[in-house]
Amino acid sequence: MNKHASDIKAETIVGGVHSSPRHDSAHKHVSGAAVYIDDMTEPTGTLHAGLGLSTVAHGILKSVDLSAVRAAPGVVAVLTHEDVPGINDISPSYMHDDPVLAAGKVEFHGQPIFCVIAETREQARRAAKLAKIEYEELPADIDIWDLDVSTHRQVVTPLTLKRGDAGAALNSAPRRVKGRMRLGGQDHFYLEGQVSLAVPGEDDEVVVYCSTQGPSETQHMVAHALGVPSNAVTIEVRRMGGGFGGKETQANQCAAIAAIAAKKLKRAVKIRLDRDEDMMATGKRHDFAIDYDVGFDEEGRILAVDYTFALRAGFSADLSGPVGDRALFHCDNAYFFPHVQAKSAPLYTNTVSNTAFRGFGGPQGMVGAERVIDEVAFAIGKDPLDIRKLNFYDAMGVQGERNLTPYHQKVEDCVIQRIVAELEESADYAGRRKAISEFNARSRIVKRGIALTPVKFGISFTKTESNQAGALVHVYSDGSVHMNHGGTEMGQGLHLKVAQVVAEELQIDLDRVKITATTTAKVPNTSPTAASSGADLNGMAAQNAARQIKDRLIAFAAESYQVLREQVTFLPNRVRIGDVEMSFPDLIKKAYMARVQLSAAGFYKTPKIHWDRKAGRGHAFYYYAYGAACSEVSIDTLTGEYVVERTDILHDTGHSLNKAIDIGQVEGGFIQGMGWLTTEELWWDGKGRLRTHAPSTYKIPLASDRPKIFNVALTDWSEAHEPTIHRSKAVGEPPLPLGLSVLHALSDAVASVADHKICPRLDAPATPERVLMAIERLKAAKKE
């Protein structure tokens, strides 16, 4: 019923943007009620798959005897590459070099050769062990450290970024230092491993419930493997138990295998890898060998840098090309290099094909930048923080010349100076630096170190076509709202943020917006939830859809009540039309009766960005996110063991959509970055066998490894320089490189044993063993 404005009690919207409602599934996560794919009720007759993996790193398949496998209890079928009805390829690149199942040869230890389909998962896995396979072993390249970058096979065309004349500037520089750094990889170690459940439908149709970050890519890969058009394949995912990039392309294989088996046997098929299989058979963060040559003046101002970033690509291209590219994009971090040359080298190895990981090469590039800063600081005897501040890009609003990146994009939104200055004061960097120096002077065994490191992270896919998103919004006749978009939820709160955007646009309480599973049947051609772009892209697409509906409602209300459109105002949970107000559901009911369309498909594409890879130039990123971390550590110089005593973080999320979610992302990103650079060590033996393939041998950070004092804050003054969704900034990947502060605090502590006169050149991960070796190396050098 219509009411006069004065008769309706004022209300406020609950859960709109810039507020902090809890994660929509938080209570389900902690109670175990959240439904993941392995929790779903299985259709009657569901079969289970188990993989048969290669036991050599490189070899020709001389014979594959699967008779014992087929005869094992419960086995219904055994699939090889010959059972792939379409294309035996799941590679995300144009290289077509990543088979569903190995054909004729294997190129890494743990490569899937065949798949057993049985009545139970245990039967399938036991049967897979019965295969008799003979190999003609071939020479295998495992580690990249000793490979010749100039002659060794590269899986894709490398990239070179160049600005100025680095060679000439290096030759004329007053000071010059060369070096090399080993940087380890990282396993995603998501809580939910790779899993897919395929349910066959009529004709060529199949529905795959898959733990994937890229539903559309998985859809296309499954369709290619089945030899059917993409419209026959539906991919659905309500949530993932973590992804971190490991489910951007790596989910394709399990999805394809399950779908092939389901269509062949006309029964639902589920495949779930256990932790060992997952770690052996799926790709990881790329490890790097970073060569650098830096020229600088007596004040520590960097004049020129020449980099080579060699990365272990593995046996196929996967995403190694763009990962290497993004490492180069971030080899400057927050620093201006007047002359720079940077080259990537994605090297072929007989190891699992490495892939996306949170930061996508950006953190590796930043490691190179921070090592260069350390080299300069130790060479001239200054605090590394002073060198950092001396070499920053020009601040936003400064009309200077120190604002051009190695890829020729102007940095127009730089706020790193203010962030570092505020953190330097709030963390009492100067006071603690003095106290640490005094402590180390009197402490013979335990030494302390401190470092404050910055982050400048570019936001956008460098693959231009990926910078688009779709969304679908329905308003039902009772005023409730159904929201669907192309992004995927992996615990990061994306669905909640997008729902907040829709609630804000329609001015209704958040609990009126239903969050639904991502599915290619509703929103097509989705971009992967990656590159920190989930909220930016999908939030804008959902806002666009909601605005279409809102515009129709305004037009309807204005016409019905004979007022101007400007006299129709959406207020919290109600709408004012002239001098009359009514509840949102009442307006919707009237609009439905008048046959107003209450559904809309929204779309958004990021403006301004362009990238010419051949030229090495372009406006690669829409904007930059900034942050800084100050960490303090204590090390035992007799064992190399260490403790993170304190970390202070100040991070820029723009005008945050949800501060609670963003702070959680910053905390988690920092810890994951810290783990990568300290304890998480991947180790392959000489035969290409991954020896760190379980929690017993691969150490992710525990709750007890977190800093004893952990202060995290978001800037309260920043907003995005560009018109992003409500002027917020991405927060998925940028916080991870904040972990560099721990690596450099360890380096600072190690340097104290030689009176800070020698650069420790501490490689990563900086395990206690590596810390101890660096200490002994510096002690020996000090005696010389």
Closest CA to 653 of 628, 680, 626: 626
* Three-class SS state of 289: strand
Strands 599-605 and 195-200 turn out to be unpaired
Q: Is 710 helix (H, G, I), strand (E, B) or coil?
A: strand
Interior angle at CA 719, CA 490 and CA 572, nearest 5: 75
Structure tokens at 90: 């799941």
Residues facing 154 on adjacent strands: 347
Q: If we measure between CA atoms, which residue out of 655, 724, 666, 657 comes closest to residue 510?
A: 657
Spatial distance between the Cα atoms of 184 and 683, rounded to a whole number of angstroms: 9
Q: Residue 202: which residues within 8 A CB-CB, separation 6 or more?
A: none
Find where tokens 């798949």 sit: 115
* C-beta of residue 391 within 8 angstroms of C-beta of residue 301: yes
Q: Give the count of beta carbons closer than 10 Å to the beta carbon of residue 366.
A: 26
Q: In this structure, which amino acid lies at residue 334? A: A
Which residue has tokens 């329609």?
A: 506
451, 454, 144, 173: which is closest to 290 by C-alpha? 144
* β 610-612/59-65 pair status: unpaired
611 close to 619: Cβ distance less than 8 angstroms: yes
Contacts of 47 (CB under 8 A, 6+ apart): 76, 117, 118, 119, 261, 265, 267, 268, 269, 270
> Which residues, 6+ apart, have CB-to-CB distance to 135 below 8 Å?
55, 56, 59, 60, 61, 62, 106
Catalytically annotated residues? 733
Spatial distance between the Cα atoms of 216 and 301, rounded to a whole number of angstroms:
47
Cα–Cα nearest to 206, from 190, 191, 227: 227
Whole-angstrom distance, CA of residue 657 vs CA of residue 200: 40
Q: What is the 3-state secondary structure (H, E, C) of 104-129?
A: CEECCCCCEEEEEEECCHHHHHHHHC
Contact 423, 616 (CB under 8 A): no
Chain centroid to CA 774: 31
Residue 233's Cα: distance from chain center in Å?
26
Rounded (to 5) percent helix, strand, coil in the chain: 30, 25, 40
Separation between Cα atoms, residue 448 and residue 76, nearest integer Å? 61
Asked if residues 495 and 237 have their Cβ atoms less than 8 Å apart, the reply is: no
> Could you give the angle at the alpha carbon of 589 between the alpha carbons of 17 and 545, nearest 5°?
40
Nearest Cα to Cα of residue 505 among 13, 8, 20: 13
CA 54 from centroid of its chain's CA atoms: 29
Q: What DSSP letter does each residue of 543-612 carry, written as one string?
A: HHHHHHHHHHHHHHHHHHHT--GGGEEEETTEEEETTEEEEHHHHHHHHHHTT---EEEEEEE--S-EEE
Radius of gyration of the chain (CA): 28
